[in-house]
Chain A
Amino acid sequence: MSRVAVGVGGRLTRSQIGFLWSIVMPVIALFIIIRVIPILVVLLMSFTNYNLNRPLVRLLPYQNFIRLFNDPNFVTAFINSTEFVLVAVPLEIFLGLAFAIYLNRKVRFESLYETLYFLPYIVPMVPSAVIWKWIYAPGTYGLANYLLDQMGFPRVGWMSTPQISLLAVIGIHVWKQLGFFVIVFLVGLKNVPSDFREAAVVDGATPWQVTRRVDIPLLKPVILFGVVMATIWAWSAFTEVYIMSQGTDISTGAEIQVLVTRIYAEGFLYFNMGYASAISFVLFIVSLIFVALQFRVFKVESA
C-alpha cells in the first residue's frame, strides 16, 4: 500500500476493513440476532396460536386479542400494571426530586447520604424482595406489623389483602428504584449554572423560589428522561411481584399479578407462546403510548 496514513476522514484501509469485520460486525450481528429479530418476531407471534406442545401453528388475525379481553387473569394483570405505573412513577419522580434538591443545598456528608439513597438501587432485587417479604410477614413475625403494634396502630394484612399487597409490592419497587432518580436529578441540578441561582438570590428569592423558578424549569429534560425510565420500569416490573406471590405465607398470588408475570405464566408455565407474545405486544404498545404521551406533555409545557 502506498498511502499508509489514511486520515480518519478518508476511505477505510485494508486494516480498518479487517478490524471492522473481525470484531465490530459480529457484535452488530449479535444485536440483530438477540434484539432486533426477537422484537420483530414477538410482534408476529402475537398473531399465532404457537405452543411448544403443539406441532401445528395457525394464524389468528385477532383471536388472541379478543381472548385477552375475556381473560380475567389478563384483565387483573393489566389493571394492576396500570396502578403500578400510576402510583410508582409520580412517587419516584417526586421523592427523587425532593431528595436531590435537598442534597444539592451544600450539606455536609452529601456523598454519604447519596451513597445510602443509592444503595437499594444497586443491589439485586431478589434478596431485597425476600427481605421485604419477611418485613411484611403476618402477625408479629413481620417487622412492619410489630412497629405498627408498638405505635398503637392496628395490624395490616400486608400479604392477605389484595389491594394492600399490590401497594406493598409497589412500595418495594419505589424504594428500590428511588436511588436512580436521586442520582440522575442531582447530576442534573449540578449542571444548572450557578449564575442563575446567584441572580435569583440577589433578587431576593427564597430557597424554595429558586427551586421552583430556576431549578425545576431548567431540569425539565432530565425530568422527562426520569419519567420515561420510571414508566418503562414500572410497566415491566417482574421480580418483586414474582417473589411476593411465592410460597405459603401469602394468600394473594393471583390478585397481584402484573403483565410480565402473565407473560411468564402463559409462556413458560403453559408454553402458550403465541398468547404470551400477544401480552408482550400489549406491554410494548402501552409503554410506547405512555412514553409518547410524556414527550407530548413536556413539549406542550415547555412551549
Chain B
Amino acid sequence: MSRKSFMAGKQSAQTPWGRTGLHFFLGLTSFLMVAPFIWVFLTSFKRSADIVTETPQLLPAVWTLENYLKLPKVAPFVRFFLNSILVSGVSTVFIALGSAACGYVFAKYRFRGKDFLFFLVISTILIPLQTYIVPLYLLTWKLGWINSYQGLIFPLIIMSSGIFFLRQNIMSIPDELIDAARVDGASEWKVFRSVILPLSLSPIAAISIVNWVYTWSLFIWPLIVANSAEMFTMELGLMYFQREYAVDYGGIMAACVITLLPVLAVFLAFRTRIIEGVAFTGMKY
C-alpha cells in the first residue's frame, strides 16, 4: 500500500467502534437493497400452499420446481425469452459496430461539418424516449412495422453515449499506428478492422454489455409496438401474466426470477465493465 493511500485511509473512522458501526450500516443498507430479490428467489421454490400464509416462512417448507415447470404451459414464456434475446442481441450488434465506426470518424477524421454532425448525435442524449414516443410510433405505423421485430428493434439501434464513449477512447490511439497501416496500402475498412477494432475491444465490450442490459429491460416501447403474444418480450409477457394470474404468486415470482436471471448473470460476470460503462453513459439513450 502506498504511503499516500495509507494517509488518506487515516481520516476514516479509526476506532474499532467506528469500524464496526460503519460495517453495520453498510451491511444492513446493502442487504435491504437486495432483500426483495432474495425473498422472491426463495418464494419461487415454494409450493403454492406455503406462499400465502398467516406467517410467511423465509425458507420453503418443501423445495419444488412446480412454479417454473408450469410456466411454459400457461403462457409462451419460451417464445418471450427468445424474443427478448433477439431484440437485445440485434440492437447490441448494431450499437457495437455503429458506435465504433462513428467513434473512429469523430475522433480521427477532419472534414467540414463534422462538429455539427457530432452535435446532432450528442444533443439528444438527455431527451428520454418517452417525450417523442408518439411520433416514433406513427413512423413505425407508417412503415407498417407495428407488431413486428423490425418495429421492436429499429429505435434501439443507435446510442448517443456509445458514440461519445468510443470517440473518447479512440482519440487516445496514436495517429502513427493508423498512418502506418495506411502507408502499407490498407483501405479504411482494413484500418478499422485491423487497428481500431482490436484496440477498442474493451470500451466496445463495455458499451455492448450496458446496451444489452438496457434493451433487455426496456418496457414502454414493446408495450406499445407489440400487440400479440408472439411478439412479446419477457418484460411484456411478465406484465400480462401478473395481470391475468394475479393470485398465482408462485408462478409470478418464478417468471420474475427468469426475467431477472440473465441480467444478474451478465452483471456478476462483467461487474467492473458494467459499472464503468454505466457511470459513463447513464445507461439511457
| From B9, B134, B219, B263, contact of A277 by CB (8 A) | B134
Question: Given A9-B110, A263-B133, A126–B259 Cβ distance below 8 Å?
Answer: yes
| From B223, B238, B283, contact of A130 by CB (8 A) | B238
| From B27, B154, B239, contact of A126 by CB (8 A) | B239
Stretch among A68-76, A84-92, A228-236 lining the B interface: A228-236
| From A7, A41, A200, A263, contact of B179 by CB (8 A) | A7
| A122 and B121 contact, CB distance less than 8 A | no
On chain B, the residues within 8 Å of A42 by CB distance are 131-132, 134-135
Whether B136 is near chain A, meaning CB under 8 Å from some CB there, is yes
| A20 and B105 contact, CB distance less than 8 A | yes
Bound-state CA distance A59–B192 (Å) is 49
Bound-state CA distance A165–B75 (Å) is 30
| B246 and A280 contact, CB distance less than 8 A | no
| Interface size, A (range) | 35 or more
On chain A, the residues within 8 Å of B12 by CB distance are 105-107, 207
Bound-state CA distance A109–B235 (Å) is 33
| A113 and B27 contact, CB distance less than 8 A | yes
Question: Given A35-B124, A119-B34, A122-B263, A5–B182 Cβ distance below 8 Å?
Answer: yes
Whether B7 is near chain A, meaning CB under 8 Å from some CB there, is yes
Whether B264 is near chain A, meaning CB under 8 Å from some CB there, is yes
| B98 and A18 contact, CB distance less than 8 A | no
On chain B, the residues within 8 Å of A270 by CB distance are none
On chain B, the residues within 8 Å of A28 by CB distance are 102, 117, 120-121
Instruction: For the complex formed, measure the closest distance between the CB of A101 and the CB atoms of chain B, giving whole angstroms.
Output: 10
| From A31, A106, A180, A267, contact of B158 by CB (8 A) | A31
Whether B47 is near chain A, meaning CB under 8 Å from some CB there, is no
Whether A254 is near chain B, meaning CB under 8 Å from some CB there, is no
| B239 and A178 contact, CB distance less than 8 A | no
| A27 and B98 contact, CB distance less than 8 A | yes
Whether A217 is near chain B, meaning CB under 8 Å from some CB there, is no
Whether B271 is near chain A, meaning CB under 8 Å from some CB there, is yes
| Interface size, B (range) | 35 or more
Bound-state CA distance A34–B19 (Å) is 52
Instruction: For the complex formed, measure the closest distance between the CB of A240 and the CB atoms of chain B, giving whole angstroms.
Output: 10
| A268 and B242 contact, CB distance less than 8 A | no
| B29 and A99 contact, CB distance less than 8 A | yes
| A27 and B158 contact, CB distance less than 8 A | yes
| B26 and A103 contact, CB distance less than 8 A | yes
Instruction: For the complex formed, measure the closest distance between the CB of B196 and the CB atoms of chain A, giving whole angstroms.
Output: 11
| B120 and A248 contact, CB distance less than 8 A | no
| B246 and A41 contact, CB distance less than 8 A | no
- Whose C-beta in chain A lies nearest to the C-beta of B272? A111
Stretch among A139-147, A154-162, A294-302 lining the B interface: A139-147
Instruction: For the complex formed, measure the closest distance between the CB of B20 and the CB atoms of chain A, giving whole angstroms.
Output: 11
Bound-state CA distance A41–B135 (Å) is 6
| A15 and B217 contact, CB distance less than 8 A | no
**Which has the most chain B C-beta neighbours within 10 Å: A103, A134, A140, A239?**
A134
Q: Which residues of A contact B (CB under 8 A)?
A: 4-10, 12-13, 15-16, 18-20, 23-24, 27-28, 30-39, 41-42, 45, 52, 99, 102-103, 105-109, 111-128, 130-135, 140-141, 143, 146, 175, 178-180, 183-184, 187, 194-195, 197-198, 200-201, 205, 207, 210, 228-229, 232-233, 236, 238-239, 242-243, 246-249, 260, 263-264, 267-268, 273, 276-277, 280, 283-284, 287, 291
Q: 8 extra interchain contacts, Cβ-Cβ under 8 A, other than A42-B135, A124-B260, A198-B8?
A: A24-B101, A34-B155, A41-B138, A115-B271, A126-B239, A238-B219, A242-B223, A287-B131
Q: Which residues of B contact A (CB under 8 A)?
A: 4-5, 7-13, 19, 22-23, 25-27, 29-31, 33-34, 36-37, 39-40, 52, 54-56, 97-98, 101-102, 105, 108-111, 117, 120-121, 124, 126-128, 130-139, 141, 154-155, 157-158, 160, 163, 175, 178-179, 182-183, 185, 187-189, 192, 213, 216-217, 219-220, 223-224, 234-235, 238-239, 242-243, 246, 249, 252-253, 255-257, 259-260, 263-264, 267-268, 271, 274-275, 278-279, 282-284
